[in-house]
Structures are given as C-alpha cells and as structure tokens.
Structure 1
C-alpha cells in the first residue's frame, strides 16, 4: 500500500480522535469531505483500523506483559490462541519465532490467576512463562504516543485531539457494555445505527453511553496498522533494567523519542519495557548507541526483534 502525506495525516488524526467526523477532519486538513472519506475507506480496506479498548489504568484492571518461550513449531498456534482472547493486545511473535509476547488486562485477579496458573502452564510445547506487571504507562496505550513524528502541525493537533471531560468522575465499564465495546473493538468508527443493532439499544442510548464512556476515560481509541506500511521495517522490544532512582526519568525520556510507540514501567526481572520502530537495523543501532546508551541509570538492555504482530489492539476479523 502506497501512503502519501494526506494518508499519513488522516492516520495521525485518528490517533488523536478515533471517531473524529469526516467533516471536521476535512476542515482541519483543508480538503473536501469526500476526499477524506475516500482516503479512509481505502486505508480501512488495506488493513488500517480504529479500535476501542478499555483503559485498564482508569478502570483499575490488572495489566500484565507476558513473555512465553515455546518450541518453534508451536509458537504460532499459541500466539493465535492468545490473540483470540478478548483481554489481549499486542500479541507478537519474536526472537526467531520461539517467543510470544502479549499484553493482558483483566478486571479482577481471578481471570489473571486462571490464565497464569492454570491455562498457560498446561499448554503443550510451552517452555517458560514470565509475567511482568505493568506499573505505569509513559507512552502508548491509553496515554497515547505523543512523541511520534506527525504530519499535523500544532494547531491541527490541538483542534483534533479528543480530551475526556469527566476524568474527575469514576470510570466504570458495566457488563451490559460488553456488546458495545466488542463492536467498537472490531471497528471503532461504526455508525450509531450499526452500534444500535449490535447492542439492541436505541441510537440515542448508544450515543449517550458511548460519550459517557469516552468522557470518563473508561475506553480509548487506538489505530491498528502494519508499521511497515509507514516504512518502519525494524520492530524491536527493548527490556531494560534501570536503577530505581532513575526509572521515572528514563521512562519519561524514552516517551519523548519518536522511535518509541510504547513504554511502561514493570515489575519483574526487568523494570522498563519499550516498543521501538525503526526504518532498518542500522537505524536501531544508532538509536540504541546514541539515544539509550548515554542515559544515566540504564544498567542492562535486552533487545528482541518482533517478527510478526498477530494482534495489535483490534479483535481478529
């Protein structure tokens, strides 16, 4: 798929507000509504999707980064099984096809214990399981990737960014919201008639509940696409050990790097994890030696190549 500057601008805008109207987007970008709609439809047909996710931080969910080591002939099947779970995102095959990494978020400890203590240990051909509890997001997920390079200027960014208006109100995701969230996870830009059909609610009820979920920060919208589409063919996960006194400073610095799309502090054998996109391995070398190397407090770095994203944020279609 060929991506030009207008396509990139549309993608960048959807990262700021996944449900921004075509008319607003057209006005900000200085093109017609029809042009924006046509570009989005083409991007969508090529695999670019907007997807809603529960904000585990706001909702108080258990959030885990899980690393699984398996026999080479079983890694793909294990990754596919994890990708079909509604509580997973960023399911990735890595490290020569023997490692699977995923993010899991659950509303309670029971689901987490079932997965970690019962289901995964019984999985055939699984060699090891390492679980890292996510303590704090610096970039990516619900807090967004603010450091990413963008085609939008500051004024356009300011006009397009969605800001939850009720963050002082507790965020709650009720059981009856399940069909609505499932539909929005498959396609975050579904219209109110389609959402009404998926939930059995009236369009006015859907509109009111969706805005409440967004305004309180219970859900957020992300964009799923193959990074290679934008020219980023070297995708790596970095696992860092950072001295505790420098953990916050290093995390905040990484969040400012345009190469970084996700960074979080974790509990586990390492305490900082980042997902980095570079155009090639040479750029990764430059990034690691020139940007991470000088950071005070970084004691150890493990880099793992991400071979294939099985799932990013959206449900499998």
Structure 2
C-alpha cells in the first residue's frame, strides 16, 4: 500500500461512508462544507493508494447462511500461497495470516446449514492441520469506534442511511447473489456498471438496490488500514468464558475502543475477538489489566495479525453464489 496519512477531512469522509457507503459525494460535501470535487478527489486518492475500499454485503442474519471460523496450520513456505488461494474463493469472507507464518484463519460462509469444506482443505499439500468452529452469533451491533468518531451529531444527521425501521420482506434470487458479488468488490459501483455485469437493466438494478436496502438486506463497510488511525497492533483473541457470564463479558468488551469485532463460537473457546491497540505495550496492558480482570474469563489465546489476504466486515460478509 502506498504511504498515506489521514487528516480531519479524510476521517470525516470515511465516517460518512461508514454510515452510508453509497451516500453521494455531494451530500458529504454539503455536510463538511467543502466542494463535491474535493470529496471525490480525497476518495480517489485513498482508493488509488490501496488505503480504502467500500464493500456492500448482505446482512448476515437475514441471508441465513452458516458461518465457519476455520484455523489452518500451514507450512511456512506455503502460507502466502494458501492465503491467496483462500482469498480467491467466493465462499470466504476474510482471510488473515498470523504471526510466525504458520497459521491462517479464515471465515467461510456456506448456504443454509452447510458444512465448511474441510475435506478439500485437508487435501491441500501446504496445509498441515485444519480445525473449524461454527460462528453462532455476532455480539456487536456497531463497527469499530476508532474510525467512527470524526463527525458531530449534527453532521451525522445529514448523512443518514435509508430508513430500515419497518422493512418489507425480500426473497433473495440468484440474480441478487450475482449483484452481491459485484458489490462486495466495490460497494460504490455505478448502477450502469452493475447492470452490465449482472445483465440487468440499469433501472432494474437501481430499483433492486433500493428494495434490498429498504429491507435491511444490504449493509456497507469501509475497509481502512487501522494503522492510519494510529492503531498498529492487530490481534485475534480466543477467549474461554464461563457460559453464564458470556453475555456480560461480551457487552463489556464491545464497549471498548480496542474491540473491532466479537462473536460467539463453538469449540474449546467460546468467544472470538479482534482487537486493535496502538502498539505492543498498550496491547499488553489491555490483555493484563482489562481482559485479565474481567470475571468469567478463564483463558485467553492471542495471535497477532500480520496480514490480510482478504478482509470484509465480519458482522456482514458477502455470500457465496
């Protein structure tokens, strides 16, 4: 990724896009009191540098897919190749390499109550061991607070997404899934471009996007490297929590700025967290003084994230088709 820095205007624009990934640049410009061209130029600069990507994905609860968290122990020399192979699959939501180059963690989404493709993974010559846990529930109803604190309440009121308080039911079609695949790559893709790729008319695409958003089916995420906000230590945590205290622990961690994601899983550990800290020292303090002091936390396994081969928002990933 090209070296970039975020100023206040960039952070405000990113916050606005996180609220509504398809909000017109003209609306962002009006809220921030700058020109449309300024917003478009800032967006283009960050995207060209590989520092920004907007993805639009179906709501995980409504899409009714099964999500599997898969941990792979790999040969060090094979790690990058395995990660790239997994990232190219349509049924992976995110793929990350962990420290040491011997482990990869990814999230699969399969239709209905389908199983993770463990047999296929085990047959890969670069993969030594495969384990899978089902992701039972997402335990955060908001995104990482570190990238959503730039706009004032008055500015937020000017960048609100479509009202989804009383959604009408929508049945997903095969054509919808083709549309999702395009939007997961570029959530701001023009309707004309989407129409050409999914072989619909532009008016049909525009109308369908309105229906999907109105039904609460389509959500947006802005992928930005946390280091640009000053958070350089990314970590996966597997926590073993006393079942009776699981909701209490999750609610407590969800309120922390360091927490980017929380999910309940099956397996030896029942809580998965993605945390962001400014450096190794603050990560140590967070683990020892914050998480270590929470009643009900029995065990914590940590693994620093060194690279993402694929990154969508865990709470709302793209569906395979």
Please report the TM-score for the alignment, with normalisation by the length of structure 1. 0.91
Contact 2:144 2:261 (8 Å CA) reproduced: no
Alignment of 1:103 with 2:107, yes or no, is: yes
Q: Secondary structure at the match of 2:193?
A: helix
Q: How does 1:69-218 map to 2 (within 5 A)?
A: 69-110=73-114, 112-113=115-116, 115-116=117-118, 118-139=119-140, 143-145=141-143, 147-148=145-146, 150-162=149-161, 164-165=163-164, 168-218=167-217
- 5+ long unaligned stretches in structure 1: none
Q: 1:123 to 1:260 in 2, by over 3 A?
A: same
Give 1:180 shift.
1.7
Inter-partner Cα distance in structure 2 for 1:99 and 1:44: 29
Cα deviations across residues 273-314 of structure 1 (Å, max 9, x unaligned)? 111111210111121123212211111111101011111029
1:12-46 Cα shifts (integer Å, max 9, x gaps): 11111111111111122222211111111111111
- Superposed CA RMSD in Å reads 1.9
Q: Distance in 1 between matches of 2:238 and 2:158?
A: 35
Taking the aligned partners of 2:127 and 2:186, their CA distance within structure 1 comes to 33
Tell me if the contact between 2:64 and 2:111 (Cα under 8 Å) persists in the aligned partners: yes
Q: Which runs of 4+ in 1 moved over 3 A?
A: 146-149, 166-172
- 2-side partners of 1:98 and 1:172: how far apart? 41
Are 2:144 and 2:259, in contact at CA under 8 Å, matched by a contact in 1? no
Residues 1-317 of structure 1 mapped to structure 2, 5 A cutoff? 1-47=4-50, 48-110=52-114, 112-113=115-116, 115-116=117-118, 118-139=119-140, 143-145=141-143, 147-148=145-146, 150-162=149-161, 164-165=163-164, 168-313=167-312
Write the distance in 2 (CA, Å) between the matches of 1:67 and 1:160.
39
Q: Distance in 2 between matches of 1:169 and 1:270?
A: 37
Distance 1:87 1:54 in 2: 13
2:252 partner SS: helix
Q: Distance in 2 between matches of 1:107 and 1:195?
A: 23
- Provide the C-alpha distance between the structure 1 equivalents of 2:310 and 2:7, rounded to a whole number of angstroms: 25
Mapped partners of 1:100, 1:146: distance in 2: 23
Compared CA separation, residues 98 and 43, structure 1 to 2 (3 A)? same
* 1:263–1:275 contact (8 Å) kept in structure 2: yes
Q: Deviations over 1:240-291 (max 9, x none)?
A: 0111111011111211111111111111110111111112101111211232
1:129-172, CA deviations, whole angstroms, 9 ceiling, x for partnerless residues? 12121111123xxx441633521123323442425526653453
| TM-score of the two chains, using structure 2 as the length reference | 0.90
Residue-pair matches, total: 309
